[in-house]
Structure 1
Amino acid sequence: MQINVVCFTVHKRFPLTISRGTTAKTTSLWVKLEAEGIEGWGEAVPFSTGSAGETTETLKQQLTAIKPNLEQFHPLTRSRLQSYLQEHQISSAIRSAIDVACYDWLGKRSRLPLWQLLGLDISQIVPISVTIGIGSPEEGKKRLENWQTVTDTKRIKLKLGSPKGLEADKRLLEAVAQNAPNAELTIDANGGWTLKEAITMSHWLAKYNVTYIEQPLAVEDDEKLPTLADNSPLPIFADESCFTSKDISRLAALKVDGINIKLMKAGGLTEVMRCAYTAQACGLQVMYGCYSDSSLANTAMAHLSPLADYLDLDSHLNLKDDPFYGAVLKNGYLQPTLSPGLGITLKCS
């Protein structure tokens, strides 16, 4: 098989601020895999979790170095291909792009959409949440108003863990809750709270329509999760503490209630499915998240959405210049199409 790589940069309509900083644009890799006259597409997005980080340049260097060795593989040998990439310690974002491209290729060759090829029921897909980053109450209200022009905001993910402290978090939450009284809220602190702060906030947030708190503690404080779970009236989900299925039994033992699976962390759709089934076997709830992913990566995840309880696949909706068309947003639901493979097409420039 032949592999071609194209760099593309996307810009956010609204820069996203979380506890670790602000992102306004991202340069990602569009990976095109060709065999038998069929082309499969994938996307590699650089990401940082605090404990791990990479750049577009490091991703490109890795893929350029290993690309000649990948020509010996075929998209149907996906398992061997992934083993090879793991043995050579290739970034999970690159592994993800190649794995997704193999699935896209397979769907196109089979002339079936991926969700149908996998036997999934897209009528079981839940609504996506839309994200509001850390900011002032006025900024939060403005961001909410913009989202309300895009979609029915049934679920809102609110980023907390402000460097300005808990009072700033509370003011932002109050502003959003007041202006979206019927929306279901989820909270993501991105590891921005101490144990004491997380316990305090969990009781304060329980007065609102909050479903769960995501990654309240830093990864290095994982051992404190049982204490938080014992003292929080709200469920606790793990994000930065969970990369692959290997992390799930450990987190279940630490009393978390759910995990956030992200395509770039997991290293491909194969591992996303493994994570989802492992979490379900451990009695945990499943959510899907994203970084600065375009429609390409989020559409790939949309095909597996019937396996998730919560969906945070909104990053492409905040892009000024997303180069792709993919899954369609209808009444708050991100629905894959009936087109073969992922159903991704390129926008005209």
Structure 2
Amino acid sequence: MDITYHPITLHKKVPLTISRGTRSQSTNLFIQITADNITGYGEATPFSIGDQTQTTDNITQDLDRITEGISYYHPLDRQIIEESLDQIAPCSAARAAINVALWDWLGQKVGLPLWQLWGLDRQRIGPTAVTVGISSPEDAIARIRRWHTDYPDLRSIKIKLGSPAGIATDQAMFSALQSEFRPHDKISIDANGGWTLEDAKTMATWLAERNVTYLEQPLPVSANHQLGELKHHSPLPIFIDESCFTSRDIMPLAPYIDGINIKLMKSGGLTEAYRMIHTARACGLSVMFGCYSDSALSNTALAQLSPLANHLDLDSHLNLKDNPFIGAKLDLGRLMPNEQPGLGITHQP
């Protein structure tokens, strides 16, 4: 099989600020795997979580090693390709790009969209959240109004908190937004590890009184040992994101949480994402899907598995000025994959 890739810099319409900083653009790697006159597409998005930093340069170097190690196999040689990738041990974003491209190729080969290949029911897909980043109350209001204007059918909103300025600043921003929430809006909170245990306890109670649905990554990864105490005091379900990359991370933390956030770039692709879903279910946990600065390619890929998720946050491509692919489309606030084979994506220059 022939493997090629190239970088594209994607620019956000509105820069996104979280507890760790602000991002306005991202240089992603787009992958093509071709065999039997069929081309599958994948994407690798750089991201940074503490000591887990995967840059465009890191990803490129790992894709070079992957190409050298697996290009002489056929896309149907999935078992040996997976074993080879285990030995190469690339960063998770590079592995995700290869894995998604192989799934896209397979779906096209058999003439089925991936959701149908897996026997899933698209009608079970719930609304995807759109994100309001950390900002002043005035800017937060402007952002949510823009979301409502651009996508009036949206029904789920994720608010980023964990401001370095403290929880009083978080409360002021959230309070300002409350008048903008519509009766049917589902509201969730993501602190990106920006709170201490005591602040997380305070905010969990405060937010529960304001009809928030769940709380995502309230504590930093270094405070995983405090999740049990937080869960004991929190009236809100606790989901983890940065604390959970693959299925191996789930069981040790399962007693202290209520759910996990699966992202393609953390998991290493759709194969591991599928494994994580069933591992989480076996542990009695809920499942949500999330994204980084991904294009429509990666969000369409994860949308194929969306009938299996409780909560969805696949909105990054909706905030792009330049989106190289068209794929799953919003329908009544739900990101719905189409009936085309594979991922069902179309490349646009």
- Give the TM-score normalised by the residue count of structure 1: 0.98
Count, aligned residues: 347
> By how many angstroms is 1:209 displaced?
1.8
2:53 counterpart letter in structure 1 = G
2:238 corresponds to? 236
Contact 2:65–2:88 (CA<8 Å) still a contact in 1?
no
Which whole-Å CA distance do the structure 1 matches of 2:94 and 2:283 have between them? 28
Work out whether 1:174 is the aligned partner of 2:170.
no
> By how many angstroms is 1:78 displaced?
2.0
1:3 corresponds to? 3
2:81 corresponds to? 81
Q: Which runs of 5+ in 2 are unaligned?
A: none
2:55 corresponds to? 55
Instruction: Report the secondary structure of 2:41's partner residue.
Output: strand
1:46 corresponds to? 46
1:153 corresponds to? 154
Moved over 6 A (4+): none
2:62 counterpart letter in structure 1 = Q
Work out whether 1:308 is the aligned partner of 2:306.
no
Instruction: Report the secondary structure of 2:242's partner residue.
Output: coil
1:238 counterpart letter in structure 2 = I
Contact 1:78–1:99 (CA<8 Å) still a contact in 2?
no
Work out whether 1:103 is the aligned partner of 2:95.
no
Which whole-Å CA distance do the structure 2 matches of 1:199 and 1:240 have between them? 19
2:194 corresponds to? 192
Contact 2:208–2:235 (CA<8 Å) still a contact in 1?
yes
Which whole-Å CA distance do the structure 2 matches of 1:178 and 1:115 have between them? 38
Which whole-Å CA distance do the structure 2 matches of 1:79 and 1:288 have between them? 26
What aligned pairs does 1:105-144 form with structure 2 within 5 A after superposition?
105-144=105-144
2:250 corresponds to? 248
2:25 corresponds to? 25
**The 10-residue stretch of structure 1 (176-185 or 221-230) with the greater mean CA deviation from structure 2:** 176-185
**The 10-residue stretch of structure 1 (338-347 or 175-184) with the greater mean CA deviation from structure 2:** 175-184
Which whole-Å CA distance do the structure 1 matches of 2:70 and 2:130 have between them? 37
Identical columns (%): 53
Which whole-Å CA distance do the structure 2 matches of 1:219 and 1:79 have between them? 32
> By how many angstroms is 1:86 displaced?
2.0
Which whole-Å CA distance do the structure 2 matches of 1:130 and 1:52 have between them? 25
**The 10-residue stretch of structure 1 (132-141 or 77-86) with the greater mean CA deviation from structure 2:** 77-86
Instruction: Report the secondary structure of 1:8's partner residue.
Output: strand
> By how many angstroms is 1:175 displaced?
1.6
Which whole-Å CA distance do the structure 1 matches of 2:178 and 2:76 have between them? 48
1:327 corresponds to? 328
Which whole-Å CA distance do the structure 2 matches of 1:5 and 1:261 have between them? 25
Q: Deviations over 1:147-178 (max 9, x none)?
A: 10222231110000001111110011112221
Which whole-Å CA distance do the structure 2 matches of 1:65 and 1:335 have between them? 34
2:231 counterpart letter in structure 1 = A
Instruction: Report the secondary structure of 1:156's partner residue.
Output: strand
> By how many angstroms is 1:331 displaced?
1.3
> By how many angstroms is 1:193 displaced?
0.2
1:267 corresponds to? 268
**The 10-residue stretch of structure 1 (306-315 or 147-156) with the greater mean CA deviation from structure 2:** 147-156
> By how many angstroms is 1:189 displaced?
0.3
What aligned pairs does 1:196-207 form with structure 2 within 5 A after superposition?
196-207=198-209
> By how many angstroms is 1:27 displaced?
0.3
Q: Deviations over 1:113-155 (max 9, x none)?
A: 1111111111110010010000011111011011102222311
> By how many angstroms is 1:58 displaced?
1.4
**The 10-residue stretch of structure 1 (239-248 or 174-183) with the greater mean CA deviation from structure 2:** 174-183
> By how many angstroms is 1:67 displaced?
1.3
1:215 counterpart letter in structure 2 = Q
Q: 1:215 aligns with which of 211, 217, 221?
A: 217
Contact 1:20–1:50 (CA<8 Å) still a contact in 2?
no
**The 10-residue stretch of structure 1 (74-83 or 186-195) with the greater mean CA deviation from structure 2:** 74-83
Which whole-Å CA distance do the structure 2 matches of 1:333 and 1:66 have between them? 35
Contact 2:127–2:154 (CA<8 Å) still a contact in 1?
no
> By how many angstroms is 1:65 displaced?
3.3
Q: Deviations over 1:90-129 (max 9, x none)?
A: 1111111111011100111111111111111111100100
Which whole-Å CA distance do the structure 1 matches of 2:83 and 2:169 have between them? 46
Q: Deviations over 1:75-99 (max 9, x none)?
A: 1122321221121121111111111
Which whole-Å CA distance do the structure 2 matches of 1:316 and 1:118 have between them? 24
Instruction: Report the secondary structure of 1:242's partner residue.
Output: coil
Which whole-Å CA distance do the structure 1 matches of 2:150 and 2:334 have between them? 12
- Give the TM-score normalised by the residue count of structure 2: 0.98
Which whole-Å CA distance do the structure 1 matches of 2:95 and 2:226 have between them? 32
